[in-house]
Amino acid sequence: MIYIYSFLFAGFVCLIGQLILDNTKLTPGHITSLFVIIGAALDIFNIYDLIVAHVGAGALVPITSFGHLLIHGGMVGVTENGFIGLAMGMFNLTASGITSAIFFAFIFSLFFRPKD
Amino acid sequence: MEKKIYDKLVYDHRPQEKRGQNAVIAFLIGGIIGVIGELLVEFYGYYLDISRADASIFMIITLIFLASLFTALGFFDKWVKFAKCGLIIPITGFAHSMTSAAIEYKKEGLVTGLGANMFKLAGTVILYGVVSAYIFGFIRLIIMGGA
């Protein structure tokens, strides 16, 4: 059942993105930035946590989860280090994704050349 | 008057995008990526015997690795052109934008080309993610009182 929910939610987010892309002049860069902000905004009242609990990894795959993870890293930092922890812990949970993206992009770009 | 006629001509001859078809393809491909993510989480959780939170991190790294590799091998661009938001909105789009920028600007030098341009597209995601998470984190602290 969780696979169906994953399929529906991830598909739904991509569908909204595609509708915005086709019907406005916004570029993919605008849309991904917008979705990150939406993901962070949904976490003010734990809404995105509820979605993740019901939908599973289907809610972690879209870029909206990036904003969600940034806020949660910050909140863990706040409980450990007080107010300054918001800045200290913000990248805790997303660090693995950003680091591996930088590393793989660099390594692959050394060995491959553009196709066209 | 001339301008109006011209505008109408341009409007009639603009490239027709198949919006309905694009939306369905984005929905299906995005959904499939979501299912792959869930499969990977359960796979890692079961075979490596780790918690679901750790398995999600493994899953995201796997998707980023595959997207970077396929971009470097050259056929991910065609997939993105076909699926559009189905592959741009998931985390694969983040890895794709970084790897394609890195490969494209490599010829301008390792520092001035690759280093300066790698975050051209992915930088906006990080910038607006951090700024919004900071502001919304403050709001959440005030309203909800922390985690």
At B67-100, the pLDDT tens digits run 999 999 988 999 999 888 899 999 999 999 999 9
B147 touches chain A (CB under 8 A): yes
B41 has pLDDT over 80: yes
Residue B89: predicted pLDDT:
93
Taking the whole predicted model, whether its pTM rises above 0.90 is answered as: no
To test the contact with chain A by mutation, choose from B14, B22, B35, B71 the residue with the greatest count of A C-beta atoms within 10 A, namely B35
Residue A17: predicted pLDDT:
93
In angstroms, the CA B30 to CA A26 distance is: 20
Domain count across chain B: 1
Length of chain B: 147
By C-alpha distance, which of B57, B37, B141, B140 is closest to A62?
A: B37
Q: What percent of chain A has pLDDT over 70?
A: 98
Confidence of residue B5 (pLDDT cuts 50, 70, 90): confident
In angstroms, the CA B11 to CA B28 distance is: 30
Q: Does some domain include residue A95?
A: yes
Domain that holds residue A29: 2-111
By C-alpha distance, which of B64, B93, B98 is closest to A109?
A: B98
Confidence of residue A102 (pLDDT cuts 50, 70, 90): very high
Which pLDDT tens digit goes with each residue over A72-84?
999 989 988 888 8
Interchain contact, A33 vs B102, CB within 8 Å: no
B29 touches chain A (CB under 8 A): yes
What lies within 8 Å, CB to CB, of B15 at 6+ separation is: none
In angstroms, the CA A115 to CA B76 distance is: 11
CA angle B66, A56, A20 (to 5 degrees): 70
ipTM exceeding 0.85? yes
Helices (H), A1-116: 2-23, 28-42, 47-55, 64-81, 85-88, 95-111
Overall average pLDDT of the B95-119 stretch? 90
Contacts A–B by Cβ distance under 8 A = 252
Q: Does some domain include residue A106?
A: yes
Domain count across chain A: 1
In angstroms, the CA B102 to CA B95 distance is: 11
Q: Does some domain include residue A116?
A: no
Domain that holds residue B47: 2-144
Q: How many CB atoms lie within 10 A of CB A95?
A: 13
Q: Does some domain include residue A62?
A: yes
Confidence of residue A96 (pLDDT cuts 50, 70, 90): very high
Q: Does some domain include residue A40?
A: yes
Overall average pLDDT of the B134-142 stretch? 91
Question: Would you call B52 helix, strand, or coil by DSSP?
Answer: helix
